[in-house]
């Protein structure tokens, strides 16, 4: 296998640990992985290794949640790839926008492995919208349309902020979709960046909210001045008002002529001043340090810093820190709320960057950083601010107070649930390759049909009413033959085939030969699907039972939830116990659950076949 050769080569690298090698193997086996780790653990190194390897195979999309994050891994922004713009519209409208863009649809369809760096900056609502768009464009009800995911980031950061309302959102892992999408979550804990060991230990203490005496003394020592010119420092503040004051103070120290830029506004000015990243009035000089406020292309992205080197016909010419020189002209910013445009502002997409908010600094790093902890008010703010410094010698800390160090407790609890190295290695002995299909669960047109719930609420699992639903849809035992055929054609894992052989499913051609308890489970599933359909059906004026396309989407969504519910798994376990398979190691790497899902999909295809035979039932298109 290709992964074995890759692991042999990587074993020669000093920085590659067993856990990193395990991550590579999981990716090669087509499992979806969340990758996290403290600073200096080699997460970026491993991510680049995976990108280089998978890019050669094709179908690998490398994205970042922000422009800076994308630039750091030589990818594109998540929003650009997805074709969703700012992503503030409803899920249904976003899907409509993407479906009208042939290039965006093609990108989604060709995607095999979807890599997202700095996933912590994506809120649960946007995460669910992306899943909805992926399913719709790929015509598949699998999570993210069957795309393999590699999500990387550190949730010990600030809560994501909605671009639409400016309000805090929930982290991705709060969404019930998180567990459905990801097979393994791995944290890299070993530290290899030994030249900054003191800084890394300090950051780890701040990250956990437990400041040791050593770290406390170190923070008190970092009040000394930095060995650089005052205008070479980046000053980080919790609030933008303080950042603006720092910018004005530093700007006044610059000599030379001042150029002024007044925005052209339309709409509600109060909302523009509150929500638009560009200010209504901008002053610049030659040698002023600025930050870009909008993505211009793949390498000039939101958050990129640079220096004004001259003015050309009244517009600033910037030499960015990646050495690119570009003239910056006014562009339009759109402010929306609840899918309604509140106003537009046309302005030069720049701002001074001597002072910045801690939130704006995420995903960036600086040579010289001054951090004022006096007004820290949010969990994770202190950690984000201190971790922006590249070195201990370039970090200047003001107003340190141990009470200001506030870790996020829900994040700490989440990290306790991650897979250990031992758990992963035990799974490799029996872990089958994860076969991802671009279409499944029957030929169902999902575009614009699956209902979307946000923010990240737990989906309702419909409970089957224990009634004789066969009266609503009568079927013969021979109708269930399609389930056996589906299993024979679609179950490619040897481990799953062995599992089903014990149940006498794979060799069986006659449903009547099956164990009665298994037949009861099959009937229960058919009843479940039938009941969901019956609850949404209507009878028209000529007596024909119809099911609107939107309601068909509701049924499909219910199936999506059922596949990952305890209700289904408990029924399956109960069935196996009656059959006499209670000694099966049901928790071994999820094989029991995978068998249950495969069998339920087979029953769903049978259900579709039965429905197709009913002359007086049809789905409105």
Task: Grade residue 556 by pLDDT with cuts at 50, 70 and 90.
Answer: low
Paired tokens of 561: 């939830």
- Is this model's pTM higher than 0.85 or not? no
How is the chain split into domains, by residue range? Answer: 13-192, 197-411, 477-532, 545-583, 585-615
Tell me the DSSP string of 180-238: HH-SEEEEE-----GGGHHHHHHHHHHHHT---HHHHHHHHHTTSPPSS-GGG-EEEES
Among the residue ranges 14-28, 324-338, 542-556, the one predicted with the least confidence is: 542-556
- Give the chain's mean pLDDT: 77
Tell me the DSSP string of 323-358: S-EEE---EEEEEEETTEEEEEEEE-SEEE-SEEET
Task: Grade residue 540 by pLDDT with cuts at 50, 70 and 90.
Answer: very low
User: Is residue 163 within 8 Å of 302, Cβ to Cβ?
Assistant: no
Question: Mind listing the pLDDT tens digit for each residue in 89-114?
Answer: 888 888 888 888 888 899 999 999 99
Q: Is the pLDDT of residue 343 over 90?
A: no
- Exposed, middle or buried by CB within 10 Å (0-12, 13-18, 19+), for 85? middle
Task: Grade residue 238 by pLDDT with cuts at 50, 70 and 90.
Answer: confident
pLDDT at 458: 33
Question: Mind listing the pLDDT tens digit for each residue in 105-153?
Answer: 999 999 999 999 989 888 898 999 999 999 889 888 788 989 999 999 8
User: Is residue 84 within 8 Å of 129, Cβ to Cβ?
Assistant: yes
Percent of residues in the chain assigned helix, strand, coil, to nearest 5: 45, 15, 40
Question: Could you tell me what percent of the chain has a pLDDT over 70?
Answer: 78
Paired tokens of 18: 């067993």
Paired tokens of 437: 């299909």
Asked whether the bond before 58 is cis by omega within 30 degrees of 0, the reply is no
CA-based nearest residue to 350, from 308, 298, 287 = 308
Question: Mind listing the pLDDT tens digit for each residue in 17-76?
Answer: 778 888 888 898 888 999 998 766 778 788 888 888 888 788 899 998 888 888 888 888
User: Looking at domain 13-192, which CATH architecture does it have?
Assistant: 3-Layer(aba) Sandwich (3.40)
Determine the Cα–Cα distance for residues 511 and 477; give it in Å rounded to an integer.
7
More confidently predicted of 590 and 3: 590
pLDDT at 554: 56
Determine the Cα–Cα distance for residues 46 and 50; give it in Å rounded to an integer.
6
Determine the Cα–Cα distance for residues 570 and 521; give it in Å rounded to an integer.
11
Question: Mind listing the pLDDT tens digit for each residue in 246-278?
Answer: 999 999 999 999 999 999 988 888 888 888 889
pLDDT at 536: 55
Among the residue ranges 143-152, 355-364, 524-533, the one predicted with the least confidence is: 524-533
Tell me the DSSP string of 372-398: E-TT--STTHHHHHHTTBSSSTTEEEE
User: Is residue 530 within 8 Å of 523, Cβ to Cβ?
Assistant: no
The alpha carbon of 592 is separated from its chain's Cα centroid by a whole number of angstroms, namely 27
Task: Grade residue 445 by pLDDT with cuts at 50, 70 and 90.
Answer: very low
More confidently predicted of 8 and 530: 530
- Which region holds residue 381: left if phi is over 0, alpha if psi is between -120 and 50, else beta? alpha
Q: Is the pLDDT of residue 298 over 70?
A: yes
**346-349-352-358 Cα dihedral, nearest 10 degrees:** 110
Q: Coil, strand, or helix at residue 576?
A: helix
Question: Mind listing the pLDDT tens digit for each residue in 581-615?
Answer: 755 544 444 677 778 888 888 888 777 777 766 54
Q: Order of strands across the sheet with 350-352?
A: 325-327, 315-320, 305-312, 289-292, 350-352
- Exposed, middle or buried by CB within 10 Å (0-12, 13-18, 19+), for 353? buried
User: Is residue 123 within 8 Å of 175, Cβ to Cβ?
Assistant: no
Segment 20-25 long-range contacts (CB within 8 Å, at least 24 positions apart): 20/46, 20/188, 22/186, 22/421, 22/424, 22/425, 22/428, 23/50, 23/186, 24/49, 24/50, 24/53, 25/428
pLDDT at 326: 92
Paired tokens of 294: 């909008």
Which residues contact residue 478 at a Cβ distance below 8 angstroms, ignoring those fewer than 6 apart?
Answer: 511
CA-based nearest residue to 66, from 119, 114, 144 = 119
């Amino acid at each position: 296998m290709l992964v074995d050769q890759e692991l042999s080569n990587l074993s020669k690298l000093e920085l590659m640990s067993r856990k990193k090698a395990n991550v590579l193997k999981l990716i090669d086996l087509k499992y979806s992985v969340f990758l996290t780790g403290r600073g200096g653990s080699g997460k970026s190194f491993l991510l680049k290794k995976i990108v280089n390897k998978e890019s050669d195979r094709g179908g690998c999309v490398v994205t970042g949640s922000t422009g800076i994050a994308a630039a750091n891994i030589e990818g594109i922004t998540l929003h650009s790839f997805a074709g969703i713009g700012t992503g503030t519209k409803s899920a249904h409208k976003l899907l409509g926008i993407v479906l009208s863009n042939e290039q965006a649809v093609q990108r989604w369809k060709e995607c095999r492995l979807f890599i997202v760096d700095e996933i912590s900056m994506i809120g649960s609502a946007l995460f669910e919208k992306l899943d909805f768009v992926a399913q719709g464009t790929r015509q598949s009800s699998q999570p993210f349309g069957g795309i393999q995911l590699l999500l990387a980031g550190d949730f010990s950061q600030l809560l994501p902020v909605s671009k639409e309302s400016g309000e805090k959102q929930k982290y991705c892992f709060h969404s019930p979709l998180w567990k459905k999408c990801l097979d393994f979550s791995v944290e890299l804990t070993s530290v290899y960046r030994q030249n900054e060991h003191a800084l890394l230990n300090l950051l780890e203490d701040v990250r956990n909210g437990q400041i040791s005496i050593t770290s406390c003394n170190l923070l008190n020592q970092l009040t000394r001045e930095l060995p650089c010119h005052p205008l070479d420092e980046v000053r980080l503040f919790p609030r933008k008002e303080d950042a603006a004051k720092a910018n004005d103070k530093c700007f006044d120290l610059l000599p030379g002529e001042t150029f002024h830029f007044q925005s052209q506004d339309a709409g509600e000015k109060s909302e523009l001043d509150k929500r638009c990243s560009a200010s209504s009035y901008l002053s610049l000089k030659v040698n002023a340090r600025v930050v870009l406020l909008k993505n211009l292309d793949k390498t000039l992205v939101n958050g990129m810093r640079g220096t004004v080197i001259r003015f050309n016909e009244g517009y600033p010419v910037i030499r960015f820190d990646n050495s690119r020189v570009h003239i910056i002209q006014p562009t339009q910013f759109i402010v929306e709320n609840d899918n309604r445009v509140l106003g537009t502002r046309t302005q030069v997409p720049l701002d001074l960057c001597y002072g910045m908010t801690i939130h704006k600094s995420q995903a960036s790093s600086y040579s010289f950083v001054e951090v004022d902890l006096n007004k820290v008010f949010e969990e994770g703010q202190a950690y984000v601010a201190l971790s922006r410094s590249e070195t201990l010698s370039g970090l200047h800390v003001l107003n340190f107070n141990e009470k200001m160090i506030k870790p996020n407790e829900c994040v700490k609890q989440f990290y306790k649930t991650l897979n250990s190295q031992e758990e992963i290695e035990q799974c490799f002995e029996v872990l089958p390759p994860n076969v991802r299909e671009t279409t499944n669960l029957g030929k169902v047109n999902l575009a614009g049909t699956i209902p979307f719930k946000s923010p990240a609420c737990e989906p309702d699992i419909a409970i089957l009413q224990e009634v004789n639903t066969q009266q609503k849809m009568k079927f013969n035992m021979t109708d269930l033959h399609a389930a056996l055929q589906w299993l024979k054609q679609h179950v490619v894992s040897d481990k799953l085939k062995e599992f089903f052989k014990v149940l006498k499913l794979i060799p069986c051609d006659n449903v009547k030969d099956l164990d009665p308890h298994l037949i009861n489970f099959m009937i229960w599933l058919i009843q479940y699907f039938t009941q969901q359909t019956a609850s949404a059906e209507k009878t028209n004026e000529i007596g024909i039972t119809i099911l609107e396309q939107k309601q068909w989407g509701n049924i499909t969504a219910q199936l999506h939830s059922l596949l990952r519910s305890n209700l289904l798994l408990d029924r399956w376990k109960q069935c196996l116990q009656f059959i006499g398979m209670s000694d099966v190691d049901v928790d071994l790497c999820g094989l029991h659950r995978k068998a249950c899902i495969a069998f339920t999909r087979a029953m769903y295809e049978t259900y579709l076949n039965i429905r197709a035979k009913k002359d007086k039932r049809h789905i409105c298109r």
